Chains A and B, each alone.
Chain A
Amino acid sequence: GAGVSQSPRYKVAKRGQDVALRCDPISGHVSLFWYQQALGQGPEFLTYFQNEAQLDKSGLPSDRFFAERPEGSVSTLKIQRTQQEDSAVYLCASSLQANTEAFFGQGTRLTVV
């Protein structure tokens, strides 16, 4: 299992529900990114971790979005009180260190109904 793994692959949430999306990066990768890809669009940056430190969260669209990586490996993206506009594919990527290739997971497709 050498790749970036994301779970669940699909999530349907009722509006107002909280959701948690998990990312298992490639073992030993220092950098971890979350992106949001709306239908028909390119991925957009949400947040970046270097080990357990969240160094950039400028892309998080609102304070309902929260990400953590407490031990510098697995990361969780949490969305509180989901809204319809949160429906998208959420992609996680990891890289060994700065300025190296980023490897992407298959994403979690979130549908808010």
Chain B
Amino acid sequence: AQSVTQLDSHVSVSEGTPVLLRCNYSSSYSPSLFWYVQHPNKGLQLLLKYTSAATLVKGINGFEAEFKKSETSFHLTKPSAHMSDAAEYFCVVSDSRGTDKLIFGTGTRLQVFP
């Protein structure tokens, strides 16, 4: 069975400092992995996705993630946090052999302080 584990429920950073949101995955075959962001009262938005092409994936708003098979990790990073980055972030794995249903982690709440 596939699953993802988000290692931090809350992360706080100062504006302009780097962001690191950690995610480990479990999959019996090569997974499709995603990061989604959820702002209050807004729908989930896709930040980026990995589908076995390049291991370093660039997404929107300056975010990127690196797929590391040896560590079963897919951590999300951004060099410099902005106040507008404050939101809930979800690491997600896709059941791509079946219905494409998405399996979400429990989420990491990112706070950005001025």
Q: Name the one of A42, A93, A98 contacting B105, with C-beta atoms under 8 angstroms.
A: A42
Across the interface, A45 reaches (CB within 8 A) one of B42, B44, B102, B105, namely B102
Can you list, as one digit per residue, whether each of B96-114 has a CB less than 8 Å from chain A (1) or not (0)?
1011111111110000000
CB distance from A12 to the nearest CB of B (A): 17
Q: A42–B43 contact, CB under 8 A?
A: no
Check B46 for interface membership: any CB of A closer than 8 A: yes
User: Quick check: is B90 within 8 A (CB to CB) of the other chain?
Assistant: yes
Contact partner, A106, options B41, B96, B106, Cβ 8 Å: B41
- Distance of A59 Cα from B95 Cα, bound (Å): 13
A-chain residues with CB within 8 Å of residue B41 when the two chains form the complex: 106
Q: State the majority secondary structure of interface residues on B.
A: loop
Tell me which residues across on chain B come within 8 A of A44, comparing CB atoms. 104
Cα distance A89–B22 when bound, in Å?
25
Flag whether A56 is at the interface (Cβ < 8 A): yes
Q: Return the chain A residue nearest B9 by Cβ.
A: A40
**Which partner residue on chain A sits nearest B49 by CB separation?**
A101
Chain B interface size range? 20 to 34
Convert B12-42 into 0s and 1s, putting 1 for each residue whose CB lies closer than 8 angstroms to a CB of A.
0000000000000000000010000000011
* Complexed CA–CA distance, A26 and B85 (Å): 27
- Contact count A vs B, C-beta below 8 Å: 55
Answer whether residue A25 sits at the interface, using C-beta atoms and an 8 A cutoff.
no
Decide: A91 near B44, CB < 8 A? Known: A42-B90, A42-B104, A42-B106. yes
Question: Of all chain B residues, which has the CB nearest A42?
Answer: B104
A48's partner among B45, B99, B105 (CB-CB below 8 A) is: B99
What are 21 A-B contacts with C-beta separation under 8 Å? A3-B43, A33-B101, A35-B104, A41-B106, A42-B104, A42-B107, A43-B44, A43-B102, A43-B104, A44-B104, A48-B101, A56-B98, A91-B44, A95-B100, A99-B32, A101-B46, A103-B43, A105-B43, A106-B41, A106-B42, A107-B43
Binding site for A on B (CB under 8 A): 32, 41-46, 49, 90, 96, 98-107
